[in-house]
Structure 1
């Protein structure tokens, strides 16, 4: 799953950034990317490779995976630009510094989602974006929906639909939202501007 997130990083750079008006981010020396739930660090490392001037911050509540992430970041040669933090997204003390944040809501419990959305909005620069994932299937085949719910439950997350997410985004005070093309690795993707 961690290795697959490198493909998600490429999708963010190649597909999402142009839609969100962030194509110039690669040239800016003050650009910053937040990876919530950094896990093994594959997404953070790939973003740092693709945006060589950007600063990347990855936060995760699991100390064990941060050890794996440090190894991945070191091997990628970007440890000088990727900062790994142990903690929860709601603990971030940063104030309006990130241009883009990755928020995998499908791995968060339902009660954590409103707090996470509010915390990310607070740390985004004015006009910055968050890309949030939801895995809830909307298939005509009951087995597809059941499998999606099972995978989400095993990961300790929520079966939030994209429709439900739009309600949460509005409640958290975001100014606009955009449905993005989804990928098999990510489920439904929604971007919201802080």
Structure 2
């Protein structure tokens, strides 16, 4: 058997384990219950991977890092187990869905950060939030936790995820402010209800995206904000390929944030801006 590629596989496997160690070390910052001998080894491994900058990371950096680690490990594991899955988001593994939900809540943290620089968006955080493609309700729960005046309509069409969403919401302190519904955004029939909407475009084909934007605009109040997310395509060719693959396997199409901005402006949104991180680019604007 040829072993010409085995050393490279060993290096890739080492990198995967180092990524897991870094994520584990960050997670244990707020957990004093773990065996100190095990924790010492985890932290030592994380420092071997990142160096002393590990200890200097602030809360915002740790939050972003955990999102990136969990997303990478969850995505990699699901891709390896189910390489034959087509262009859809019909994931059956409850653990994988919950992991994606934990990672997704950082989207609302970013929305809040953007709102800090946009007073009108801050006001939108006191109204009713439409969480499209809620999955297991990770974003909805984070919105309810951090915005005590906000009500949330969480919608999705994947019933296995919605079952977990209902359970997660019922077990939270926010069940009186979150409504979970099996509803296609293209069938949204509300009128002038929402002050803020989240639309993950990476799960939508273009015709569906166009209809979703129409429905959300009709369902939004004056001065309501829409935040549309798209996976960022890095300059690195391999990472760009992974971003494309992630979008296609999620059921969407490879989209340019500039196109999404144009679609929003065509529906009357103003002050449309973009905010990019290595994970996702947010396109956001306001209905006058």
- Tell me if both proteins adopt one fold, taking TM over 0.5 as the criterion: yes
**Counterpart for residue 52 of structure 1:** 148
**Counterpart for residue 193 of structure 2:** 97
Deviation, 1:192, is 2.0
**Counterpart for residue 166 of structure 2:** 70
| 1:14-29 map, 5 Å | 15-20=113-118, 21-25=120-124, 28=126
Does residue 137 in structure 1 map to residue 233 in structure 2?
yes
Task: Determine which structure has more spread, i.e. the larger CA radius of gyration.
Answer: 2
Q: Which runs of 5+ in 2 are unaligned?
A: 1-99
| 1:147-162 map, 5 Å | 147-162=242-257
Structure 2 counterpart SS, 1:33? strand
Does residue 108 in structure 1 map to residue 204 in structure 2?
yes
**Counterpart for residue 11 of structure 1:** 110
CA contact (8 A) 1:136 1:159 kept: no
Structure 1 counterpart SS, 2:129? strand
Q: Which protein, 1 or 2, shows the higher relative CO under an 8 Å CA cutoff with sep ≥ 6?
A: 1
**Counterpart for residue 42 of structure 1:** 138
- The number of residue pairs the alignment matches comes to 187
Deviation, 1:89, is 0.9
Q: Provide, for residues 81-121 of structure 1, a one-character-per-residue CA deviation record: whole Å limited to 9, x for no partner.
A: 10011111121221111111000001111221110111111
State how far apart, in whole Å, the 2-side matches of 1:76 and 1:164 are: 38
Does residue 165 in structure 1 map to residue 260 in structure 2?
yes
Structure 2 counterpart SS, 1:22? helix
Rate the CA distance shift 1:152–1:3 in 2: closer, same or farther, 3 A. same
Deviation, 1:167, is 2.1
State how far apart, in whole Å, the 2-side matches of 1:85 and 1:38 are: 9
* Structure 1 runs of 4+ with >3 Å offset: none
**Counterpart for residue 182 of structure 1:** 276
Question: Normalising to structure 1: TM-score of the pair?
Answer: 0.89
Structure 1 or 2: larger strand share? 1
Question: Normalising to structure 2: TM-score of the pair?
Answer: 0.61
Deviation, 1:180, is 3.4
**Counterpart for residue 192 of structure 1:** 285
CA RMSD, Structure 1 to Structure 2 (Å) = 1.7
CA contact (8 A) 2:261 2:272 kept: no
CA contact (8 A) 2:228 2:284 kept: yes
Further displaced range: 3-12 or 15-24: 15-24
Rate the CA distance shift 1:180–1:164 in 2: closer, same or farther, 3 A. closer
Deviation, 1:181, is 2.3
